[in-house]
Amino acid sequence: MSRVNEGAAWTILGYLISGPLFWGGIGWALDKWLVTGYFLPIGLLLGMGAALYLVWLRFGREG
Amino acid sequence: MRSMFSFRAEGSEFIPPSSKDFVLPPIFGDNEFTTKPIFLVIFSVVIISIFFIAASRKASIVPSKLQFAGESVYAYVRNDLGKDIIGHEFMRFVPYLFTLFVFILTNNIFGIVPLIQFPTMSRISFAYVLGIITFGVFHYVGIRHHGIFKYLKDILFMPGVPKPVYILLTPIEIATYLIVRPLTISLRLFANMFAGHLLLMIFILGGEHLLQGAIGLKLVSPFAFAFGIAITFFEFLVQCLQAYIFTLLTALYIGGALADEH
Amino acid sequence: MTGTLNLVGYGLAAIGPGLAVGMIFAAYINGVARQPEARSVLQPIAFLGFAMAEALALFGLVLAFVL
Domain of B223, in residue numbers: 18-258
Q: pLDDT at residue C60 above 60?
A: yes
Quote the longest CA-to-CA distance of chain B.
77
Mean pLDDT on B198-220? 86
Mean pLDDT on B5-15? 64
Evaluated on CA atoms C42, C45, C47, C50, the torsion sign reads negative
Would you list the DSSP string of C28-62? HHHHHHH-GGGHHHHHHHHHHHHHHHHHHHHHHHH
Long-range contacts of B87-92, Cβ-Cβ distance < 8 Å, separation of 24 or more:
B87/A1, B87/B255, B87/B258, B87/B259, B89/B258
Touch criterion met for A and C (3+ Cβ pairs within 8 Å): yes
Q: pLDDT at residue B14 above 80?
A: no
- Phi then psi for residue B198, to 5 deg, are -60, -45
Touch criterion met for C and B (3+ Cβ pairs within 8 Å): no
Higher pLDDT, C54 or B61: C54
Q: Which tens digits make up the pLDDT trace of B118-163?
A: 888 888 999 999 999 999 999 999 999 888 888 888 888 877 788 8
Cβ-based neighbour number of residue B81 at 10 Å: 24
3-class SS of residue B9: coil
Best interface-test mutation with A: which of C28, C32, C59, C63 has the largest number of A CBs within 10 A? C59
pLDDT of B6 = 67
Q: B36-40, B56-60, B103-107, C23-27: which has the minimum mean pLDDT? A: B56-60
Residue B21 touches partner A, C-beta closer than 8 Å: no
Higher pLDDT, B58 or A13: A13
pLDDT of B194 = 92
End-to-end CA distance of chain A: 14
Tell whether B130 is covered by a domain: yes
d(CA B158, CA B168): 11
d(CA B70, CA B49): 11
Domains and CATH numbers, chain C: 17-66 (1.20.20.10)
Q: Which tens digits make up the pLDDT trace of B66-114?
A: 888 888 889 988 988 888 888 888 888 999 999 999 999 999 999 888 8
Tell whether B5 is covered by a domain: no
Q: Which tens digits make up the pLDDT trace of C4-43?
A: 888 899 999 999 999 999 999 999 999 999 999 988 888 8
Number of domains in chain B: 1
Tell whether B10 is covered by a domain: no
Measure Cα distances from C23 to A7, B225, C20, C28 in Å.
19, 35, 5, 8
Provide the mean pLDDT of chain B: 86
What percent of chain A is predicted at pLDDT more than 90? 48
Put simply, the answer to whether C50 touches A51 (Cβ < 8 Å) is no
Domain ranges of chain A: 9-60
Chain A residues inside the 8 Å CB shell of B87: 1
pLDDT of B260 = 66
Q: Which tens digits make up the pLDDT trace of B72-85?
A: 889 988 988 888 88
pLDDT of B63 = 78
Q: Smallest Cα–Cα separation from B222: which of B233, B230, B210?
A: B210
Q: Which of residues 20-59 of A touch B (CB under 8 A)?
A: 21-23, 46-47, 50-51, 53-54, 57-58
Angle separating helix axes B181-211 and A8-34, nearest 10 degrees = 90
Q: A12-21, A46-55, B52-61, B217-226: which has the minimum mean pLDDT? A: B52-61
Buried b / exposed e along B64-73 (16+ C-beta atoms within 10 A): eeebeebbeb
Tell whether B6 is covered by a domain: no
Mean pLDDT on B182-189? 92
Q: pLDDT at residue C1 above 80?
A: no
d(CA B45, CA B64): 23
Put simply, the answer to whether B160 touches A57 (Cβ < 8 Å) is yes
pLDDT of B85 = 84
Q: pLDDT at residue B8 above 60?
A: no
Count Cα atoms within 13 angstroms, Cβ side, for B62.
0
Residue B176 touches partner A, C-beta closer than 8 Å: yes
pLDDT of A1 = 40
Higher pLDDT, B160 or C47: C47
Tell whether B241 is covered by a domain: yes
pLDDT of B30 = 77
Tell whether B7 is covered by a domain: no
Tell whether B210 is covered by a domain: yes
Mean pLDDT on C45-60? 90
Closest residue in A to C55 (Cα) is A16
Buried b / exposed e along B179-210 (16+ C-beta atoms within 10 A): bbbbbbbbbbbbbbbbebbbbbbbbbbbbebb
Mean pLDDT on A44-61? 88
Chain A residues inside the 8 Å CB shell of C52: 52
pLDDT of B28 = 78
Distance from CA of A34 to the nearest CA of B (A): 22
Tell whether B93 is covered by a domain: yes
pLDDT of B166 = 87
